[in-house]
Amino acid sequence: MSRTATDRADALPALAEVFREHGHAGASLSRISAATGLGKGSLYNFFPGGKDEMMAAVLADIADWFEAAIFSALELSDDPVRAIAAMIRDVDTYFNSGGRVCLVGTLGLSASRDPFTKSIRLYFARWIAALATCIAKGSVPGNEASTLAERTVAGIQGAIVLARALDDENTFRRILRHHEKTMLDAIAAHRSRHS
């Protein structure tokens, strides 16, 4: 008995990968156990609620990471051009240029999303809102900034789907770069009009 002093937080990354690859239904306890290196005993010690609690913990972890690394940066920066470029770069590395799936997005597509609908909705709503306020700081009118943010987040999700289907990282990066340019162009257009 190793008593690894492992916090449940240490298992979350491996846990997330299993859910990403196999979905909620396909992530069996044996696969989870193999991926995390934890036996059933430890798993149910850390997550008494079973698979659903594991998924909830993973979603919360993802939400925290995005909030800290992306959303707050979008809202707090006073240089929207740099903030947008940083988001695009972070998104590219996080999703591994389309090689890594967005767990929140895929979970939302499946029928087993029911207990997590609120978390899923919040994740995307928060992303769009943060990006919209960032764009709006570049003198872009609010409603235009909102639709632009919405289209960008949707484009990122679509880029993941497409890059995975075509098994081509360049597809992902190409689409990402286009959205970056579109947002920066919008800011540039409204700024020049203001001068």
Partner DNA sequence: ACTGTCTTGTACCGTTCGGTACAAGAGCCG
Partner DNA sequence: CGGCTCTTGTACCGAACGGTACAAGACAGT
* Contact residues: DNA, CB under 7 A: 1-6, 27-31, 38-42, 44-46, 48, 50-52
Determine the distance from the C-alpha atom of residue 193 to the mean position of all C-alpha atoms in its chain, rounded to a whole number. 34
Among 36, 97, 133, 171, binds a second copy (CB under 8 A): 171
Which residues inside 106-125 make contact with a second copy, applying CB under 8 A?
106, 108-112, 117, 120-121, 123-125
Cβ pair 113, 120 in contact under 8 A: yes
Regarding 22 and contact with a second copy (CB under 8 A), the answer is yes
- From the number of C-beta atoms within 10 Å of its C-beta (0-12, 13-18, 19+), residue 46 rates as buried
Separation CA 193–CA 66 (nearest Å): 33
Cβ pair 71, 25 in contact under 8 A: no
Please, which residue, 118 or 194, has the CB nearer to a second copy? 118
Longest dimension (CA), the chain: 69
Among 4, 9, 25, 40, binds a second copy (CB under 8 A): 25
Please, which residue, 34 or 68, has the CB nearer to DNA? 34
Separation CA 172–CA 159 (nearest Å): 5
Please, which residue, 15 or 176, has the CB nearer to DNA? 15
Please, which residue, 69 or 120, has the CB nearer to a second copy? 120
Q: Going residue by residue from 138 to 167, which x/- string records binding to a second copy, judged by CB under 8 A?
A: ---------x--xx-xxxxxxxxxx-xxxx
Select the binding partner of residue 154 from a second copy, DNA, none (C-beta < 5 to 8 A, by kind).
a second copy
Q: What is the DSSP string of 156-185?
A: HHHHHHHHHHHT-HHHHHHHHHHHHHHHHH
Following CA atoms 56, 61, 62, 67 in sequence, which dihedral angle do they give, to the nearest 10 degrees? 130
* Residues lying near a second copy in the complex (CB under 8 A): 21-26, 101-102, 104-106, 108-112, 117, 120-121, 123-125, 147, 150-151, 153-162, 164-167, 171, 174-175, 178
